[in-house]
Structure 1
Amino acid sequence: MLVKKRLLILGAGLVVTTLALSGCAGAGAKSQSVTLTLATVNNPQMKDMEQLKGTFEKENPGIKVNFVQMEEGDLRAAVTADVASGAGQYDVVTVGAYEVPQWGAQGWLKDLTSTLKNDKSYDVGDILPPVRDALSVDGKQYAVPFYGESSILMYNKEMFANAGLTISDHPTWQEVAADAKILNTADHAGICLRGKPGWGDLFAPLTTVVQTFGGAWYDSKWKAQVNSPAFVEGVNFYVDLLKTAGEKDPVSNSFTECLNQLSAGKVAMWYDASVAASILEDPKTSKVAGKMGYVHAPVYKTKESGWLWSWNLAVPKTSKNADAAEKFVKWATSKDYQQLVGKTLGWTRVPPGARTSTYSIPEYKEAAKAFAPITLDVMNSVNPKQPGLKPQPWVGIQYVTIPEFQDVGNQVAQLVADAIAGRTTVKEALDKGQVIAQAAGDKQK
């Protein structure tokens, strides 16, 4: 894999940490101060980490943590270029399940196996096995999960009841669309779906819709399928649903924007990451806490259609401050951190889908009873090896594990966003996307 040609990209919910080490002034200084500059998207879980950073700083005298929020796209570009080039600007990065095995095999990430295994208090064996496996290459673990997730349909039970509607635990997309049109009023949208361009924005949920409609990015021989009938049908359904019952200006909306609208009671339904449920059920920040219902991702031709993902902390091989970086990584993904979140911010705010023991904490089981069981159920039900109707030559649901996918996904997402905005048709957009995808597919043959 050539570094210059195959730069990988980080997904939505991205966190990057810059660790700058500076010695105390004067000869013979006995101590050094470490400043961690943590660049992050405006993700609720990362805001929680920022709020709780004082605990880490007290436990590690001399280490300070500064948070800087950036747009996701800018963050991705900066971190990918830094890690791939070996510049060493960042000491801790948050990477997705898509990147970790490729970056680890490439030699870009520090092997954390020994430091995790030797720290008995960390209990690396407590990490959910499917998630841990996704972060390992040839028995070596290159990252640890901050939180894991699938995708589910979240709906306002009060709005459904007022409209005389009910929903099953395993709804179809056709049923969801019919309900969304009824629930779409002047006061609130029927459904919120991501429309912001980006493979980790728009195409995270849209790829799962395409798959349950029978489509796929590529066939088993890496022939692009972007303008195939099934792919076109799935995208047309998604675009039409946004036009008839979706939120205003969808091309400006991704995870955070839809979360804000649903929590404010401005949307009846939302299909997205299961991790959002913990924020929706927090009465301190959500107007709909206690009013929400959660069901499996909608389907059409498949039994399941949710994704499987984790956001993970890793240390680049080029880090000049590896020891301090590892301390922070272990602190933010530890059992103690989960207890800290629960006791300080509320048990629904505990990062889910990373540790088995999380689901045995009595306070968490009670606080998260509305969404914790279904999250685990969906995560254990999806099939990353074949999420659609036909076999695929990669493992993954809402992404294709080739370095070129970042560029392919971003370009096609922009084309689809143009269709959502009415600047082109879905067929015209996907015909252009087919050419882009095939160029990347040819490199895999």
Structure 2
Amino acid sequence: MKPILALAVSAVLGLSGCAGAGSFGAGGKTVTIAMVSNSQMQDAIALSGAFERENPGTKLKFVSLSENEARAKITASVATGGGEFDVVMISNYETPQWAHNGWLVNLSDYARRTPGYDEADFIPTLRESLSYQGDMYAVPFYGESSFLMYRKDLFEQAGLRLPEEPTWSQVADAAAKLDDPVSGRSGICLRGKPGWGESLAPLNTVINTFGGRWFDEDWHAQLTSPEVERAVQFYVDLVRAHGEPGAATSGFGECATQLSQGNTAMWYDATSAVSVLEDPESSKVVGKIGYALAPIEQKPNSGWLYTWSLGIPKASHKQDQAWQFISWMTGKPYLRMVGEQLGWPRVPPGSRLSTYQIPEYRAASKAYGPLTLSSIEGVDPAHSTTKPVPYTGVQFLTIPEFQDLGTRVSQQISAAVAGQISVRDALEQSQQYAEVVGRSYRESQ
């Protein structure tokens, strides 16, 4: 892999780390954790007092950031060895690349020395995606694939049915029939917000199942191919005709609100969304949601593979204390604590196999738990498309350049969703971006 191009060294990070090394379990340390501000992470912050009581002298300082902001600040800090953060929330996109670059601490070394941690309990596809040369360099807090969430009651009222693995044509037909602007309800919610981890996450699965790909086997860009254009045109047309208001600025959080508050009939997104949808404290549609596999066109098993995970930057001077916190937040006792104190639907899903054997969780998640697990286990990042490709990854390409390339392309797609440019114009500009990346790989062969 090529090294990630470092972000500007002048990036303002807003925090400074504490210097000084400490031994395992030593007190008087503040561990600074950079996290994405999703609901499961907010639960961890709310429960973190239990960790501090169990580890007197160690204080936790959380930096909770939006998804796009977190990616930028964490990347800038880790790539430049800034040392601002002792624990960083990263994904299976960054982890193997950063491990290759020597930016992360080997967590398998810690896991093997921690009684009861059980590294082998992590779902194999996630464990592999977070590994480099056989060892894990981040451990999953939660894992996800993607599936379709829909209002069972609305489908029944309209006399509509969805198979367990619907096609995108079936989804589009249902969205048209359930779209009800008079009552303020859209037919479907789809991300249109710029960001390689925002709108491109669902859109890339659509491109894959429609037979598209970003590059051919020789790294020639393919974003203006008929397959990609048909997939993107379908996605943009669907969200513009029957999607949520303000789709061009809607991401995961906005769509979660739309469905949980009864303002849309369907949502295609992450399997982890159930923590919001099935929580009586935040959702008006508990018990009314049906779940189906990621919609397909040509290629089956079109769901993505993603995990928000915790890693330790090599620049941290408090690696032992950082691991203490990570092992607490990703361990089996934490999952049970969430279920018992906050409710079983709020347990971080898709990380450990043993979670799906907890009787209380199995009962609470019977509508979505087995589907979540089978979706995650069925993903094959090495064969995400119908045609051969030189990269791995489903909703992202596991190459360093994708962080910038994907963001640029997503900005073009978002403009098309907003009606500012045509899909063809968006893809022609995107093709130019991709050709620059492809050329660098051809020249290095």
What interval of TM-score do these two structures reach, taking the shorter chain for normalisation?
over 0.9
Q: Which runs of 5+ in 1 are unaligned?
A: 9-15, 24-30
**Residue 146 of structure 2 contacts residue 270 of structure 2 at CA under 8 Å; is this kept in 1?**
yes
* Structure 1 runs (4+) greater than 6 angstroms displaced: 16-19
The yes-or-no answer on 1:309 pairing with 2:306 is: yes
1:165 to 160, 163, 187: 160
Cα distance in 1 for partners of 2:7, 2:123 equals 28
2:353 to 356, 372, 376: 356
Cα distance in 2 for partners of 1:225, 1:75 equals 30
Letter in 2 for 1:83: V
Cα distance in 2 for partners of 1:372, 1:417 equals 32
The yes-or-no answer on 1:111 pairing with 2:91 is: no
**Residue 6 of structure 2 contacts residue 80 of structure 2 at CA under 8 Å; is this kept in 1?**
no
Cα distance in 2 for partners of 1:73, 1:401 equals 18
Cα offset, 1:35, TM superposition: 2.5
**Residue 32 of structure 2 contacts residue 86 of structure 2 at CA under 8 Å; is this kept in 1?**
no
Letter in 2 for 1:5: L
Cα distance in 2 for partners of 1:5, 1:356 equals 36
Cα distance in 1 for partners of 2:331, 2:27 equals 26
Cα distance in 1 for partners of 2:133, 2:374 equals 28
The yes-or-no answer on 1:40 pairing with 2:46 is: no
**Residue 107 of structure 2 contacts residue 137 of structure 2 at CA under 8 Å; is this kept in 1?**
yes
Partner of 2:369 in structure 1? Answer: 372
Cα distance in 1 for partners of 2:16, 2:354 equals 30
The yes-or-no answer on 1:423 pairing with 2:420 is: yes
Cα offset, 1:120, TM superposition: 2.1
SS of structure 2 residue aligned to 1:444? helix
Partner of 1:69 in structure 2? Answer: 64
Letter in 2 for 1:403: P
Cα offset, 1:65, TM superposition: 2.2
1:147-158 matched pairs, under 5 angstroms: 147-158=142-153
Q: Which runs of 5+ in 2 are unaligned?
A: 21-25
2:212 to 208, 212, 215: 215
Cα offset, 1:77, TM superposition: 1.5
Cα offset, 1:66, TM superposition: 3.2
Letter in 2 for 1:441: G
Q: TM-score, normalised by structure 1?
A: 0.93
SS of structure 1 residue aligned to 2:148? strand
Letter in 2 for 1:47: Q
SS of structure 1 residue aligned to 2:140? strand
SS of structure 2 residue aligned to 1:89? coil
Cα distance in 2 for partners of 1:98, 1:41 equals 15
Residues 298, 373 of structure 1: CA spacing in aligned structure 2 closer, same or farther, 3 A cutoff? same
**Residue 4 of structure 2 contacts residue 400 of structure 2 at CA under 8 Å; is this kept in 1?**
no
1:262 to 248, 259, 262: 259
CA deviation map 1:351-383 (0-9, x unaligned): 111111101100000001110001112122232
Cα distance in 2 for partners of 1:118, 1:382 equals 30
Q: Paired residues, what number?
A: 431
Partner of 2:174 in structure 1? Answer: 179
Cα distance in 1 for partners of 2:68, 2:378 equals 31
Using the TM superposition, name which of 276-285 and 236-245 deviates more: 276-285
SS of structure 1 residue aligned to 2:362? helix
Cα distance in 1 for partners of 2:346, 2:305 equals 20
Using the TM superposition, name which of 357-366 and 386-395 deviates more: 386-395
Cα offset, 1:385, TM superposition: 1.2
Partner of 2:331 in structure 1? Answer: 334
Q: TM-score, normalised by structure 2?
A: 0.93
The yes-or-no answer on 1:390 pairing with 2:395 is: no
CA deviation map 1:220-246 (0-9, x unaligned): 111111111110110000000011100
**Residue 22 of structure 1 contacts residue 32 of structure 1 at CA under 8 Å; is this kept in 2?**
no
Residues 19, 336 of structure 1: CA spacing in aligned structure 2 closer, same or farther, 3 A cutoff? farther
Partner of 1:142 in structure 2? Answer: 137
CA RMSD of aligned residues (A): 1.9
Cα offset, 1:140, TM superposition: 2.1
CA deviation map 1:185-217 (0-9, x unaligned): 023110000000011000000000011111111
Partner of 2:48 in structure 1? Answer: 53
